[in-house]
Structure 1
Amino acid sequence: MLVIRPITEADYPALMRCAEESGHGFTSLPVNEEMLRNRIAHSVESFGKEVTEPGTEGYLMVAEDTETGEVAGTTAIEAAIGLDNPFYTYHLSTVVHASRRLGVHNVVKVLTFGNNYTGNSELCTLFLRPEWRQGLNGRLLSKCRFLMMAEHRHRFSETVLAEMRGVSDDEGNSPFWHWLKEHFFSIDFTHADYLTGIGAKGFIADLMPKLPIYVSLLSPEAQAVIGQVHEKTRPALRLLEKEGFCCRGYVDIFDAGPTVECDVRNIESVRHSITCTVEIGEPNSGKDFIISNGSFDGFRAVVGKVKVDEENNIALITTEMAAALQVKNGDHVRLIEQ
């Protein structure tokens, strides 16, 4: 059984393994020891803080196999982005150039550089190691964050977003970045992506074109990937779309992958999650649920069969599940059916 829990200092080797396996374009998991250790330390501090509103906290978690102790993946939430480091995006919009006198009417797309998402919460760092990509593991890693948001609402903003990995090849070459590099930068996509991952974002403000870019002036290859996702990211995007997330024209400044967003109150797993009292036993029947405990610094989430008595608001769970969640009879849990 996989259990989601807050990361600890002892998880550094496992997090580095995830970073190495995640490949190019995974900005939030750079292969950099100092960066990863700092991120772990920041998460440990964030989970221990008492807060009344979202700030610079970052909540990083891992999925651990309860039998072997092996870490199968990682997932995270940033409480409010852009407060300590700028969060840049391009916004794709439409403008019209027309002249009645000349009988000319042209509708064109433009990309505008900005940081409109400052202060919003971000779903990030979702990575499941290949050998664990089966069953409901991916859903658990993604949806446990919605249970955390529903249970601890004051820690997160009203709008939640997620950056989707854009199109790049196995060597990390991005068609969109190739055009930007040719005209404004002189560094490779992988290097730019790495610098962003370790927080060295000053070069973006220094070199990125400030005026809107007409999409028609980009290379055909760059135009074709705007708003498109990497093939390995499609399952994650489909899951978020089912939760109510959609793209409102914002794309990544490096690979032009889409940013999707949703009001936290409208996220399906937040809206339809329920709270129950725990009863430990051996349910002879039940449905698949993702279930989390009511703790924050001791947050735990698992997926498995649960028998829910809706009339009495009771969730019957197994002894193994109770141990993984660190709950006992009478404790409060939150769950969502799968």
Structure 2
Amino acid sequence: MRHDLYSLQLFMTVAACGSIAAAASRHNTVASAISKRISDLEAGIGTPVLSRKRHGVELTPAGQDLLRHAQAVQDAVRRMEADLSRHAAGLRGAIRIAANTSAITQFLPEDLAAFVADHSDLAIELVELTSDAALAAVRSGQADLGIYSGLSDAGDLRICPYRSDTLVVAAHRGHRLALRRRVRFADVLDEDFVALQQGSSIQAHLERQAARHGDKLRTRVQVMSFDGVRRMVQARLGIAILPFGAVEPYLEGSNLAMIPIDEPWARRELRIAIRDPELLTIQARTLLQVLTGTEDARPSVRQPAPRQGNVTLAAPRSALSPEGKEPCR
């Protein structure tokens, strides 16, 4: 049997997504191309590796064995790349990052701009995913670093602290809540909500909190992006709960109002997940050190976090210095 690495990579993505169509979208290809490669794998092995279902696929026993071996092969390749990268002169290559919307909206643009300015030979391949999908991308080897909400379970992945953010209520300026200094979650449970898509860690978090109150969120509209949520809120279709950094910069000149949430769970951690430090290339390791504050970064990345009332936009990374920094674990 002869297996190429790309087919094995596609197979691992299908296994992680549970869907050939979703895997095709992840790899910017068509489902038929992936189906053909999977069929070729099955022909070479002599048995099916996927069980086709109405709403996706499942691994057969042979598929589970193939996944285990494919991951071992990928780990060996990544280890080879990491070892060889140490012999390279300077930092060249690409770093693959899967990050949730909160990280991309609030923190990554400035952090990556500062990093790339100092490492102009490096390319950053960034994909926006939900937290759970970002973790799956790291597990499957599609991403070197996965930035996710600490509300999601990283399982056996190694995790490093990145940032903190604070959830706030976004409402139309004419809404009854707009003049409140702060609100408790129980105060808003009777409101219509503009919600994020299923799979969002914020949405899952809010649904769990509502359940603890013996209630459910009244979702009127569900959209895919923070921008879509803000537009719906300004159209008076409901209120929303979003990170501070997805609301505060858009207040001026808009019909948005922002109200802090007086609940301990409104503050959440953003973290970086990796599979194994030994599998990281020197380029990815360098970026990880900068993002986690364990290596001196440019001053523009390490400014004190702005505040509005009792709400903090970007939590300090140990006063944004390495001393006392919580290590990766």
Higher relative contact order (CA 8 A, sep 6+): 2
Same fold (TM over 0.5): no
Structure with the higher fraction of residues in helix conformation: 2
Structure with the higher fraction of residues in strand conformation: 1
